[in-house]
Amino acid sequence: MDSRRLFHSENHPISILYTDDEPSLLEIGKLFLERRGNIAVATATSAEEALSVLETGTFDGVVSDYQMPGMDGIDLLREVRRRYGPLPFIIFTGRGREEVVIEALNSGADYYLQKGGAPKPQFAELENSIRHAVEKRRMARALEESEERYRTVVEDQTEMICWFDPDGVILFANEAFCRHFGVPGEEMVGRRFAPAIPPHERKRLGRHFASLTPDHPVAHIDHQIVMPSGEVRWHGWTDRASFDRDGSLIRIQSVGRDISDYKDAETEATASRQRLKDVIESLPDPTFAIDAEGRVTLWNREMERLTGVPAAGMIGRLDYDRAVRSGGSFRPVLADVVIGRATADVAGRYLSIQQKDASLLGEIAVATEDGSERVLRGRATPLRGLDGEVLGAIESLRDITDLRAGERALHEANALLEWTIDALPGIIGIMRPDHRIIRYNRAGYEALGITHDEAAGKPCYSLIGRSCPCDLCATETALKSGKPGTIEKYMPELGLYLRCTSVPIFDRNKEVIVIVEHLTPIPEPANAAGNSEESEARPAAR
């Protein structure tokens, strides 16, 4: 029978089976033990009856006389031990011979009490022994269950778990530990077992174990280990030391796992971060990065030059904007917007701002320490994890003050050129080498009776209704000679004699990029009628 069913929980009265062949003594004992209400007593007048009662009831312990007809108390004790294991058992008898006491205790009795004398003190002693025996058994059972649960949990863990004494002798090793090192559990426990440690790790590991004290009993360490196959792996161990009252080490519990894959990934991640840092450091533009909370994680040399603040003073800071300029005029908020730390309502601070793909672009004017103003172009891009979560942002800045100044100068020069040619009375045309019009001046559009949109991109000859260039063409002459070319001819479509001068404009490679053509009306030549080449083009009566 399972002995666990014989025990009540601590919330119930102690249930005792009292066996004696003297009914009067049973009655007295029952009355005394039950007087407080926390012990319930069932009785039996023989060992045989006691065994029958035990089969049908639930009890926390047995009290039995020694000398009874048939089975005596020792025989009953032995049978109870055989059937119910460590059920508390007390011999309560008038026989006090030394050999009986020894036999009772050797057979597993918890207590041996002798009857005689006044009932009150002897039953008080019996009650006290019952409580001690039941409490001891309950504690033992609780410890067994706790150890069983602990062992079950430990064996089911994927982590390696072992206990070893100060001499390194293995006291316990779970299946994961034994399997990892390829040693069966029955061979592991009870012997010294120390995996091979690379020489460069031994001193550090020694310092780790030396650091375990009663005031600091737990420590963690990651270290390399040489496997039986010769392969070097990484292990991570958490060690907990147990000490006695005098502070002497009793044992160490180690819980560990193979972290080689993690270490390999960590090494690659570190190398990747270093490569990224090297790339960012080599960028010609000021560049910095922040994490999801806005802390600076990268600050390259060009950023140091731009701001005057070294990277050492910026890494890890949240207030990078104030650190850059004490006056607060420098505020690269694009990265803040990308990570959601600032709203996108920053257009008022920027000369321009726009979204392009995943990046945010903007131009901002900032005051420098010498009081001048510079224009910076910023581009902020989110840094995302594998799951798409924004982990931070990187922003590059470029000083485009000179570029913007050059663009303004070019715009002003173009405007001046346009105003100049529009003021000229003659027809000015600017075209590509294939005769396609870039633009005319105002006089040209008026003479042709068209607008800029109607002329732009079309061959000049098509604007007067022709399908190919004129036979006499100053532009063709200039393209062939590479020099300005001038001809005079009659243009029947316009009803004018014109002097046409075409000037080629070259790029750095001496390739013609545009032709500037100047058309000037001239009087009809005196020999126009004799000019056979042009006579068919002149009006019949002129």
pLDDT at 23: 92
Structure tokens at 200: 């460069």
Q: What is the DSSP letter of 388?
A: S
pLDDT at 80: 93
Per-residue pLDDT tens for 373-384? Answer: 888 888 999 999
Count of alpha carbons within 13 Å of 171, Cβ hemisphere only? 11
Per-residue pLDDT tens for 227-276? Answer: 988 899 999 999 999 999 899 999 999 999 999 998 888 888 888 888 88
- Integer Cα distance of 257 and 235 in angstroms: 6
DSSP annotation string for 217-258: -EEEEEEEEE-TTS-EEEEEEEEEEEE-TTS-EEEEEEEEEE
pLDDT at 369: 65
If you search the block for the tokens 């009914």, which residue do you land on? 23
Per-residue pLDDT tens for 306-327? Answer: 778 888 888 888 876 655 544 4
- Integer Cα distance of 354 and 379 in angstroms: 10
- Integer Cα distance of 222 and 260 in angstroms: 10
8 A C-beta contact, residue 492 and residue 524:
no
Phi/psi at 334 (5° precision): -60, -45
- Integer Cα distance of 401 and 227 in angstroms: 63
pLDDT at 46: 94
Structure tokens at 456: 């732009």
- Which residues, 6+ apart, have CB-to-CB distance to 481 below 8 Å? none
Between β-strands 61-64 and 14-19, what pairing exists: parallel, antiparallel or unpaired?
parallel
8 A C-beta contact, residue 32 and residue 127:
yes
8 A C-beta contact, residue 164 and residue 171:
yes
Torsion of CA 369, 371, 375, 381, to 10 degrees: 30
Report pTM. 0.41
8 A C-beta contact, residue 156 and residue 249:
no
**Helix or strand holding residue 13 (H, E):** none
Positions of the chain with pLDDT under 70 = 1-11, 95-96, 144-157, 320-332, 343-348, 368-369, 526-542
**Helix or strand holding residue 97 (H, E):** none
If you search the block for the tokens 């995943």, which residue do you land on? 358
CA-CA-CA-CA torsion sign (283, 284, 285, 287): positive
pLDDT at 217: 95
8 A C-beta contact, residue 143 and residue 129:
no
Q: How far is CA 236 from CA 195, 233, 239, 261, 459, in A?
A: 14, 10, 10, 12, 79
- Integer Cα distance of 296 and 312 in angstroms: 10
- Integer Cα distance of 59 and 82 in angstroms: 16
